[in-house]
């Protein structure tokens, strides 16, 4: 058994045992290399194809003619890409309204959550006040109960408030989230307290400490909250489904797409185009802020 | 008056002022529904009809003799048993594969993560088309290797499997991110020490790495179980509970009882609330059981 020195592209996490002093003699057999590349590519490349296939196929479909979508075997590439499908999808549906509504609701909720959750989380993390532990516990307990379970009573409350069939029904109940408070409280607790104490001694108010010291140190956490909240709101379906009953002017993208599919004897090339357009803002945000998504999921374990 | 002024500048006033807007919102839209739902489950009530009649446990006893509720329960359990282990094992393997520095690794990771941000409706549209019985790409590709054609969502025996495949596609990135973070938290020294002792890669993984992934696995088991038991969007949009009720899951049945029979007297909101509460209790008990079990077998790093 030769003691070949592992090539540089061997896994960095692993030392070649034969290079170590005090070798026990149980040297791992050097891997024979049949391939000019890492064998994991043989698994990862097909995996990437499978994962991207539904998306790529949607893009291809959005560029076909209607006749081409009713063809078997499937037309894998349009002779001339039908970019007009995108305009046609906008013309044949209320896409503009859906998009605008979704944008309004999402932006309102993200901004409100950033403000309200920051205030509350700072108090929970730093201010000693009567009932703090109890209130925090009760809030966390509500995190255990998902919307699906309390769908009917939540609907009834929103109805009592006269919000059904308005964008208010989508915005108001989600202005603050327990998730945001929890996440930011955890983060604020990790910040060094000395700066804040020094500012307090200098007579700064709680609010100015929060704005001038804590918030600038917390931008990554706030960005994480913002992108996760954006994703949840943008993609939400169940809540708009039950609260926007008849008013089509208050439809969101998800709601609109769901009816688009039912209304038109499924014109796949147009539905595909509308679908791509509905995903675009989310995909762009993901590409720009991938690390905040990953951080949010890895540290908090949250998906919509 | 002096005392009041002192309170105003105290930490108590500051703390409450900071939390009050959030607390009001969460009480109104988070806490009150939990209590109201319980009350509703003991009533005979339409969704928007004002008269509500107290019926005691009638809604709860009704569940037992309702064949559609039973079917929904069976479907939900089937889905959960298929989805949870498959998705977690797949994610473990994929995370292991992605946890290395090779060419294109950023691209591979991106491909796996992207479905995390696609909505359930967008995913539903893509898979309805991909799995289309007549013109779908899937049937064409499977036909190339001599399989099919499949009915997928339109076949009573295949719809559930197709649903599981679709949701695994949607969730794989999420689970993988959690495992990848956990894998990167495993100290190199441990792996190296095992290698020096002559352990094979296989036994190093199962004896050293896998125990260190315990907390991540527990999180994923709990989280996936909860979300599997609450499956709704995909069923509502893609299969509508069909064919032949084979994918009608609990939350879908709750939605239909309360919202699809008209909102007036025909709506069975009280009965639906009772089913939702039973589901809530099941989720609660399962979650506590999983944590209890996890405590006993999982090694937490100090």
With a CB-CB cutoff of 8 Å, which residues 101-140 of chain A face chain B?
Answer: 116-117, 119-120, 122-124, 127-132, 135, 138-139
Preferred mutation among B6, B11, B15, B105 to probe A, highest tally of A CBs within 10 A: B15
- Mean predicted lDDT score pLDDT of chain A: 85
* Mean pLDDT value of segment A148-170: 92
Query: How confident is the prediction along chain B (302 residues), in pLDDT tens digits per residue?
Result: 567 666 666 788 889 999 999 999 999 999 999 999 999 999 888 887 777 888 889 899 999 999 999 999 999 999 999 999 999 999 999 999 999 989 999 999 999 999 999 999 999 999 999 999 888 899 999 999 988 789 899 999 999 999 999 999 999 999 999 999 999 888 888 888 888 888 888 888 888 888 889 888 988 998 899 999 999 999 999 999 888 899 999 999 999 998 887 776 677 889 999 999 999 999 989 988 988 888 887 766 54
Tens-place pLDDT, residues A91-118: 988 999 999 999 999 999 999 999 999 9
| Interface predicted TM-score (ipTM) of this complex, two decimals | 0.89
Confidence of residue A21 (pLDDT cuts 50, 70, 90): very low
Of A9 and B85, the structure prediction assigns the larger pLDDT to B85
- Domains of chain B: residue spans and CATH: 2-40 (no CATH), 63-297 (1.10.3720.10)
CATH code of the region A89-300: 1.10.3720.10
Q: How far B86 CA lies from chain A's nearest CA (Å)?
A: 16
pLDDT of residue B63: 93
pLDDT of residue A5: 36
* Mean pLDDT value of segment A125-149: 88
Q: Chain centroid to CA A262: how far? A: 27
pLDDT of residue A243: 94
Of B288 and A26, the structure prediction assigns the larger pLDDT to B288
Confidence of residue A260 (pLDDT cuts 50, 70, 90): confident
Give the bridge partners for B44, in sequence order: B53
Question: Is pLDDT above 50 for A259?
Answer: yes
Confidence of residue A20 (pLDDT cuts 50, 70, 90): very low
Question: Is pLDDT above 60 for A11?
Answer: no
Confidence of residue A263 (pLDDT cuts 50, 70, 90): low
Confidence of residue A203 (pLDDT cuts 50, 70, 90): confident
Residue A188 in contact with partner chain B when CB distance is under 8 A: no
* Mean pLDDT value of segment A60-79: 87
Residue A193 in contact with partner chain B when CB distance is under 8 A: no
Domain regions of chain A by residue span: 89-300
Residue B34 in contact with partner chain A when CB distance is under 8 A: yes
Using alpha carbons, select from B300, B161, B287, B168 the residue that is nearest to residue B223.
B287
pLDDT of residue B72: 96
With a CB-CB cutoff of 8 Å, which residues 61-90 of chain B face chain A?
Answer: none
pTM: 0.88
pLDDT of residue A28: 44
In this prediction, what percent of chain A has a pLDDT beyond 90?
A: 59
Q: How far apart are CA A259 and CA A266, in angstroms?
A: 10
Question: Is pLDDT above 60 for A283?
Answer: yes
């Amino acid at each position: 058994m030769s003691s070949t020195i592992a090539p540089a592209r061997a896994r960095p996490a692993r030392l070649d045992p034969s290079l170590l002093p005090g070798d026990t003699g149980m040297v791992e057999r050097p891997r024979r290399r049949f391939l000019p590349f890492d064998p994991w590519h043989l698994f990862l490349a097909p995996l990437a194809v499978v994962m991207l296939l539904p998306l790529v196929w949607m893009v291809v479909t959005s560029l076909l003619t209607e006749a081409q979508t009713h063809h078997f075997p499937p037309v894998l590439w349009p002779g001339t890409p039908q970019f007009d499908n995108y305009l046609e999808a906008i013309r044949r549906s209320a896409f503009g309204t859906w998009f605008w509504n979704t944008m309004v609701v999402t932006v309102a909720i993200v901004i409100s959550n950033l403000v309200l959750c920051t205030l509350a989380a700072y108090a929970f993390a730093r201010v000693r006040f009567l009932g703090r532990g109890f209130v925090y516990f009760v809030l966390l307990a509500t995190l255990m109960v998902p919307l699906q379970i309390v769908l009917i009573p939540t609907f009834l409350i929103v109805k009592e408030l006269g919000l059904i069939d308005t964008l208010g029904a989508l915005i108001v109940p989600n202005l603050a989230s327990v998730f945001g408070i929890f996440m930011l409280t955890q983060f604020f607790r990790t910040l060094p307290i000395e700066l804040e104490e020094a500012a307090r001694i200098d007579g700064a108010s709680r609010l100015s400490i929060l704005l001038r010291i804590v918030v600038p140190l917390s931008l990554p956490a706030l960005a994480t909250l913002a992108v996760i909240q954006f994703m949840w709101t943008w993609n939400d379906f169940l809540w708009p489904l039950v609260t926007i009953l008849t008013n089509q002017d208050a439809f969101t993208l998800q709601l609109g797409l769901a009816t688009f599919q039912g209304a038109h004897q499924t014109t796949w090339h147009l539905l595909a185009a509308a679908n791509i357009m509905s995903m675009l803002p989310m995909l762009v945000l993901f590409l720009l802020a991938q690390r905040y998504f990953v951080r949010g999921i890895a540290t908090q374990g949250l998906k919509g | 008056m002096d005392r009041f002024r002192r309170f105003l500048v105290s930490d108590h006033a500051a703390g409450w002022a900071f939390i009050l807007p959030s607390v009001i919102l969460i009480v109104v839209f988070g806490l009150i529904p939990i209590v109201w739902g319980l009350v509703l489950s003991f009533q005979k009530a339409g969704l928007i009809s004002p008269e509500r009649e107290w019926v005691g446990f009638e809604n709860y006893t009704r569940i037992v003799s309702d064949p559609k509720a039973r079917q929904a329960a069976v479907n939900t359990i089937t889905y959960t048993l298929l989805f949870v282990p498959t998705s977690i094992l797949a994610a473990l393997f994929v995370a292991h594969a992605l946890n290395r520095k090779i060419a294109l690794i950023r691209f591979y990771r991106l491909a796996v993560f992207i479905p995390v941000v696609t909505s359930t409706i967008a995913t539903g549209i893509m898979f309805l088309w991909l799995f289309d019985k007549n013109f779908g790409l899937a049937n064409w590709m499977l036909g190339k290797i001599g399989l099919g054609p499949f009915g997928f969502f339109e076949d009573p025996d295949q719809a559930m499997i197709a649903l599981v495949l679709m949701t695994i596609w949607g969730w794989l990135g999420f689970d993988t991110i959690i495992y990848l973070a956990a894998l990167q938290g495993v100290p190199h020294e441990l792996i190296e020490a095992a290698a020096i002792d002559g352990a094979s890669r296989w036994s190093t993984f199962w004896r050293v790495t896998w125990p260190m992934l315990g907390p991540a696995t527990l999180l994923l088991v709990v989280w996936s179980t909860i979300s599997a038991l609450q499956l709704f969007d995909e069923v509502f949009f893609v299969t509508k509970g069909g064919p032949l009720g084979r994918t009608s899951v609990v939350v879908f049945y709750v939605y239909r009882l309360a919202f699809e029979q008209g909102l007036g007297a025909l709506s069975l909101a009280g009965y639906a609330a009772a089913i939702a509460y039973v589901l809530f209790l099941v989720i609660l008990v399962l979650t506590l059981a999983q944590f209890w079990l996890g405590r006993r077998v999982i090694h937490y790093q100090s």
